[in-house]
Amino acid sequence: MEYEETLKHYDDAVALCDGIERKGKSMPYTSDNGHMFSLINKDGELGVRFSKEFQEKLMEELKSGHLHSHGAVMRGYVRMPDSVVKDAKRLAEFIKLGHK
C-alpha cells in the first residue's frame, strides 16, 4: 500500500481512539509519556507495539511479522497487514491495545 493511503487509514483509525493523538510529520506515530506504541515507517508500513506474548500470537493470526524501519527490526512492533490497515475500526482496536 502506498504511504499516503496508509497515512489516511492511520489517521482515520487514530481519530476513533479517545485520548490518543497522532504525532510526527515525517514519521507519523502515537505515544504516551514518551513511549511510542504505533508508527508508520518510510515504506508506508504500519506497526503497533504489543507485549511479547501477544505479538507472537498476533503475528501468527495475521500472518504478519515484525515491523522493519531504516533496515532494523522494530522489536515489539507487529506489522499490520493491509487488510487491517484498511479497516479503521479494527486498526483502532489494535492501537488501543498497544496503548495499554
Please check whether residue 59 is in contact with residue 69, taking contact to mean a CB–CB distance below 8 angstroms. no
Band of pLDDT at residue 1, cut at 50, 70 and 90 = confident
Scan for cell 487509514, then name that residue.
9
Q: What is the pLDDT of residue 78?
A: 97
Looking up residue 75, the CATH number of its domain turns out to be 3.30.1460
Q: Could you tell me the residue range of the domain that residue 46 belongs to?
A: 3-99
Domain count, the chain: 1
**Alpha carbon 62 to its chain's center:** 13
Instruction: Give the global pTM.
Output: 0.92
Triad 69, 22, 55: Cα angle to 5°: 50
Scan for cell 493511503, then name that residue.
5
Band of pLDDT at residue 100, cut at 50, 70 and 90 = confident
**Cα 74 from Cα 20, distance rounded (Å):** 21
